[in-house]
């Protein structure tokens, strides 16, 4: 679904690194693995402004921020970071999955090819 969502963007690569790593997904572990695979690259972590108040609960947040300095984008209902040209809707993946499970509308929130993929495979449907 990530490949479908990001297909229109040139220069974007969807990585399967977390799948290859297996186990518990930790941002720092993922960044370290990416750095190992791409030693000449520099990484940034893209997060919404709604995440900032919760970073103290992240596993080794200070190390994450050092390894991949965060780029914070606006999120409706939260203070917009200085110099941020965009703001994303205040909706999350849990809300989207809930809408999909009740045949709710997600158009405008999820790319059309991803919606088609979900519908074709009957993903996220509520159990009968």
Is 66 within the bounds of a domain? yes
Handedness of CA 75, 80, 81, 85 (dihedral sign): positive
Is 114 within the bounds of a domain? yes
Is 67 within the bounds of a domain? yes
pTM: 0.78
Judge if 84 and 98 occupy the same domain.
no
Instruction: Please give the Cα distance from 24 to 95 (Å, whole number).
Output: 23
**75 CB burial (10 A radius; 0-12, 13-18, 19+):** buried
Judge if 78 and 19 occupy the same domain.
yes
Question: Running along the chain, 128 residues long, what does each successive block of 10 average in pLDDT?
Answer: 95 93 94 96 92 93 97 85 81 91 91 95 86
Tell which phi-psi region holds residue 115, choosing left (phi > 0), alpha (psi between -120 and 50) or beta: alpha
Judge if 50 and 82 occupy the same domain.
yes
pLDDT at 103: 87
Is 36 within the bounds of a domain? yes
Is 75 within the bounds of a domain? yes
Q: What is the domain range of residue 103?
A: 91-128
Contact yes or no for 78/48 (Cβ under 8 A): yes
pLDDT at 68: 97
pLDDT at 87: 80
Start-to-end CA span in the chain (Å): 25
> Which residues are 75's β-sheet partners?
88
Structural domains in the chain (count): 2
pLDDT at 90: 80
pLDDT at 100: 92
């Amino acid at each position: 679904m990530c490949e479908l969502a990001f297909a229109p963007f040139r220069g974007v690569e969807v990585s399967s690194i977390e799948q290859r790593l297996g186990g518990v997904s930790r941002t720092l572990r993922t960044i370290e693995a990416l750095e190992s695979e791409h030693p000449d690259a520099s990484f940034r972590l893209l997060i919404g402004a709604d995440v900032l108040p919760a970073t103290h609960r992240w596993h080794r947040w200070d190390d994450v921020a050092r390894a991949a300095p965060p780029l914070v984008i606006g999120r409706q209902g939260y203070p917009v970071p200085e110099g941020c040209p965009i703001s994303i809707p205040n909706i999350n993946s849990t809300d989207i999955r809930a809408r999909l499970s009740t045949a709710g509308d997600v158009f405008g929130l999820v790319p059309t090819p991803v919606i088609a993929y979900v519908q074709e495979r009957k993903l996220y449907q509520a159990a009968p």
